[in-house]
Chains A and B, each alone.
Chain A
Amino acid sequence: MNWFRVVKSNLSNEYLEQYLEQYLEHTMLQLQYFLILAAALFCIGIYGLVTSRNAIRVLMSIELLLNSVNLNLMAFSNFLDPEGIRGQVFAVFVITIAAAEAAVGLAIVLSIYRNRGTVDMEQFNLLKW
């Protein structure tokens, strides 16, 4: 983007200068882009979590949710706290917990499959009044 700055310094036209300023601002990656992307991923994950019939797909949707939270943490860490990067530390913790959750969740799914012979979420109604 250096040539843009050179062109801008040589120009006297105010409108063009304003336009170039806006262009330079819009080409920068901003915090809002990442946050909106994480929100979209979170909503897709919640939709999959509620509507899936297969228990393993429910586990995958939970992984999507955890990933969107991680993306939020990393974006805040880069834009709001670039010195301390505590967000990255939290993201590492979240990744660890997600791995443990996947292992225990798949063990539970396997155990239910052995007992009930299906992975259909609608059939898992043992605890229903």
Chain B
Amino acid sequence: MNLADGVQLVSFIVLSAMMLGGALGVVLLSNIVYSAFLLALVFISMAGLYILLNAAFVAAAQILVYVGAVNVLILFGIMLVNKRQDFSKVSKAWISQASTAAVCLGLFALLSTMVITTPWAISAIAPIGDGAIVAIGKHFFTDFLLPFELVSVLLLMAMVGAIIIARRDLLPNEIAGNEQPALTLPERPRELVSGGQK
């Protein structure tokens, strides 16, 4: 990145404020649809931080995968379980929330003191910037070839597993017992299946 230092600092401050505010909104807002859209804001500001860190390829991958796929998937999930329900109150819920907040603040204090006191071995070499794509490609096909192939197998397994877990039960007509109107899917939800068998 050929930006002046001041510009980098100001954009870092703006992006980090967007990211922290969005993350707090994701965790604290009561409407979960707002949370999902704020999650997209967090992902986009994270991509901006990656660009500040001289990683344009990973920033593009972040926007494509997270904003384009994961966030849309989460929105679909929210709309598939669109049951507006108020969760029943758990007694003494504030104790668990307060203790969790205390533990998280303590963890943050510990991590920040560790970050500040550790003498990092900052490298003096200039970052390769736009040559990062070539370097990443070389890594993928030389010394990271085995993890790369394993990740593709894992994606296939995750796809098959997600389909098998989430699909509805397939029942033929004779077992279900009732007349099936035309133009419906051969699969039916589990409630109908159990209701028909009883």
- Give A73 Cβ to nearest chain B Cβ, in Å: 9
Q: Do A92 and B128 touch across chains, with their CB atoms under 8 A apart?
A: no
- Give B187 Cβ to nearest chain A Cβ, in Å: 12
Check B176 for interface membership: any CB of A closer than 8 A: no
Residues of A9-37 whose CB lies within 8 A of B = 24, 27-29, 31-37
The CB with the most chain B CB atoms within 10 A, among A32, A78, A89, A111, is that of A89
Specify which chain B residues have a CB less than 8 angstroms from the CB of A128 in the assembled complex: none
Q: Do B23 and A41 touch across chains, with their CB atoms under 8 A apart?
A: yes
Chain B residue with the shortest CB-CB distance to A25: B5
Q: Do A60 and B35 touch across chains, with their CB atoms under 8 A apart?
A: yes
- Give A86 Cβ to nearest chain B Cβ, in Å: 7
Chain B, interface residues (CB within 8 Å), range: 35 or more
Q: Mark A50-85, 1 if CB is under 8 A from B, else 0.
A: 111110110111011001001100110111111111
- Give B189 Cβ to nearest chain A Cβ, in Å: 7
Number of interface residues of A (CB under 8 A): 78
- Give B83 Cβ to nearest chain A Cβ, in Å: 7
Check B74 for interface membership: any CB of A closer than 8 A: yes
Check B195 for interface membership: any CB of A closer than 8 A: no
Check A125 for interface membership: any CB of B closer than 8 A: no
Chain A residue with the shortest CB-CB distance to B57: A88
Specify which chain B residues have a CB less than 8 angstroms from the CB of A54 in the assembled complex: 32, 87
Chain B interfacial positions (CB closer than 8 Å to A): 4-6, 8-9, 12, 16, 19-20, 23-24, 26-27, 32, 35-36, 39, 42-43, 46, 49-50, 52-55, 57-58, 61-62, 65-66, 69-70, 73-74, 76-78, 80-81, 83, 85, 87-88, 90, 96-97, 100-101, 103-105, 107-108, 111-112, 115-116, 120-123, 125-128, 132, 135-136, 139-140, 144, 147, 151, 154-155, 158-159, 161-163, 165-166, 168, 189-191
Chain A interfacial positions (CB closer than 8 Å to B): 1, 24, 27-29, 31-37, 39-48, 50-54, 56-57, 59-61, 63-64, 67, 70-71, 74-75, 77-86, 88-89, 91-93, 95-104, 106-111, 113-115, 117-120, 122
The contact sample of 27 A-B pairs, CB cut-off 8 A, is A29-B9, A33-B16, A35-B115, A39-B107, A39-B115, A41-B19, A46-B107, A54-B32, A64-B39, A64-B42, A74-B49, A82-B54, A82-B123, A83-B125, A92-B61, A96-B154, A101-B158, A102-B74, A103-B159, A106-B74, A106-B162, A106-B166, A110-B165, A114-B168, A115-B190, A118-B83, A120-B88
